[in-house]
C-alpha cells in the first residue's frame, strides 16, 4: 500500500536568489522514483505542491527536486533549512517511457530542466545516446550547467540574452540541427507550455516521436479530485477531446495527442 511519508530536508543547494535544489531523505521515493515522475510536497499552505524529481540516490536513500519561487508555497519551501521536516506523496504520475528509445533528444526550459536532468542521468546509466538542449534566459540563470556538462557528453544550451550558447530560445538551436543527426531519435521535452508546443510541432514535422510533460494547477496529485485535467485528442469518433488527469494519466503525454 502507498503511503504519505514524513521526510527530512538533508541538503539545500541554493542556485540563485529564488531557486534551489532540495534533497530529502526518503528511501521509498529514492528506490522507486523514475524520470518524469513527480512528488507532492507539503508546505505551510493547505495543498501540497508538485515538483518533478531531479534525481535519486538509492544508496543514500535520498531524492532531490529543483524549486523555483512561484508563489507563497514555494517561497516557504525555499526558506526551509536542513533538518526541517515535510510530508510527501510520491513518486506520482507515469514518467517517461524509455523502452523503445534508441537515441534521445532532451529539451528543458524553466523548472523543466530539473526533471530533464533525471532523464539525462537515466539515459547515461542505460547507455542510451543522449543530447540535451536547455533554454535559459541568461548565463546567470543557467542552473545545473556544470552538472549537465558532466552527465551528458552532448550538452547544448541557448540563452535569450545570448551570453551563453546559442542566442535565442531552444528553437533557435533545434532549427540548426542536421537531419542526419536526428534519425531514430525520441524527443522528450519539459518546460513552459509555449516551448513544449513549439518543440512538438518541430518534432512532428521531422517525423520524430515526442513526449511532453504537462503542468496544471493540481490538488491531490493522485488522480482523485479531477482538477488538473488537460485536453487530449479523443479516440472516439465525433468527439474532439477528452479531459485527462495530468497527475495520474500523465504528466507525460505523447505530443501528438495534446490539444494545446
Partner 1 sequence: MSISVKVGEVALKNPVILASGTCGFGRELAEYMDLSKLGALSSKGLTLLPRDGNQGVRVAETPSGMLNCVGLQNPGVDAFLETELDYMVDSGAGVVVNVAGHSNEDYIAMVEKLDPYKEKIDALELNFSCPNVKEGCMVIGSSPKAIEALVSDLRKRTTLPLWIKLTPNVTSIAETAKGAEAGGADAVVAINTMLGMAIDIRTRRPLLHNNTGGLSGPCVKPVALRMVHDIYSAVKIPVVGCGGASTYEDVLEFMIAGASAVELGTISLVHPTRPVEIVEDLEKYCQDNGIEELSSLTGTLELWR
Q: Does 229 bind partner 1 (CB under 8 A)?
A: yes
In the region spanning residues 73 to 102, those forming contacts with partner 1, defined by CB under 8 A, are 73, 87, 89
Residue range at the interface with partner 1 (CB under 8 A); choices 78-86, 113-121, 197-205, 236-244:
236-244
Candidate residues 58, 70, 224, 256; the one interacting with partner 1 per rule CB under 8 A: 224
Q: Least separation, in Å, of the C-beta of 241 and partner 1?
A: 7
Q: Least separation, in Å, of the C-beta of 159 and partner 1?
A: 26
| Number of residues that this document lists for the chain | 260
Tell me how far apart the alpha carbons of residues 247 and 50 are, in angstroms, rounded to a whole number. Answer: 9
Tell me how far apart the alpha carbons of residues 167 and 162 are, in angstroms, rounded to a whole number. Answer: 4
Candidate residues 9, 10, 15, 47; the one interacting with partner 1 per rule CB under 8 A: 47
Look up cell 507539503; give the residue.
42
In the region spanning residues 2 to 41, those forming contacts with partner 1, defined by CB under 8 A, are 2-4
Q: What is the DSSP string of 114-181?
A: HHHHHHHHHHHHHT--EEEEEEESSGGG-TTHHHHHHH-SEEEEEESSSSSSEES-HHHHHTT--GGG
Peptide bond into 260 cis (omega under 30): no
Tell me how far apart the alpha carbons of residues 185 and 173 are, in angstroms, rounded to a whole number. Answer: 16
Q: Does 46 bind partner 1 (CB under 8 A)?
A: yes
Q: Does 231 bind partner 1 (CB under 8 A)?
A: yes
Candidate residues 16, 194, 241, 256; the one interacting with partner 1 per rule CB under 8 A: 241
Q: Grid coordinates representing 197?
A: 508546443
For residues 51, 57, 59 and 61, what is the CA-based torsion angle, rounded to 10 degrees?
-20
Candidate residues 147, 219, 233, 254; the one interacting with partner 1 per rule CB under 8 A: 219
Q: How many chain residues interact with partner 1 (CB under 8 A)?
A: 29
Residues that bind partner 1 (CB under 8 A): 1-4, 45-48, 73, 87, 89, 216-220, 222-229, 231, 241-243, 248
Amino acid at each position: 500500500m502507498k503511503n504519505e511519508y514524513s521526510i527530512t530536508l538533508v541538503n539545500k543547494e541554493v542556485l540563485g536568489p529564488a531557486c534551489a535544489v532540495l534533497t530529502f531523505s526518503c528511501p521509498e521515493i529514492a528506490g522507486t522514483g523514475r524520470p518524469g515522475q513527480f512528488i507532492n510536497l507539503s508546505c505551510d499552505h493547505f495543498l501540497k505542491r508538485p515538483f518533478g524529481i531531479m534525481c535519486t540516490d538509492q544508496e543514500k536513500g535520498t531524492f532531490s527536486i529543483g524549486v523555483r519561487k512561484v508563489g507563497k508555497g514555494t517561497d516557504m519551501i525555499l526558506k526551509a533549512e536542513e533538518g526541517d521536516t515535510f510530508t510527501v506523496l510520491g513518486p506520482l504520475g507515469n514518467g517517461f517511457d524509455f523502452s523503445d528509445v534508441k537515441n534521445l533528444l532532451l529539451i528543458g526550459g524553466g523548472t523543466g530542466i530539473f526533471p530533464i536532468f533525471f532523464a539525462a542521468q537515466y539515459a547515461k546509466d542505460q547507455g542510451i545516446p543522449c543530447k540535451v538542449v536547455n533554454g535559459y534566459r541568461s548565463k546567470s540563470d543557467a542552473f545545473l550547467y556544470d552538472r549537465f556538462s558532466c552527465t551528458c557528453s552532448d550538452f547544448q544550451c541557448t540563452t535569450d540574452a545570448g551570453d551563453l550558447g546559442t542566442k535565442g530560445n531552444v528553437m533557435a538551436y533545434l532549427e540548426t540541427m542536421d537531419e542526419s543527426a536526428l534519425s531514430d531519435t525520441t524527443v522528450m521535452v519539459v518546460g513552459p507550455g509555449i516551448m513544449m508546443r513549439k518543440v512538438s510541432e518541430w518534432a512532428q514535422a521531422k517525423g520524430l516521436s515526442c513526449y511532453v510533460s504537462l503542468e496544471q494547477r493540481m490538488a491531490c496529485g493522485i488522480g482523485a479530485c479531477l482538477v488538473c485535467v488537460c485536453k487530449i485528442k479523443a479516440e472516439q469518433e465525433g468527439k474532439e477531446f477528452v479531459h485527462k488527469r495530468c497527475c495520474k494519466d500523465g504528466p507525460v503525454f505523447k505530443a501528438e495527442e495534446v490539444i494545446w
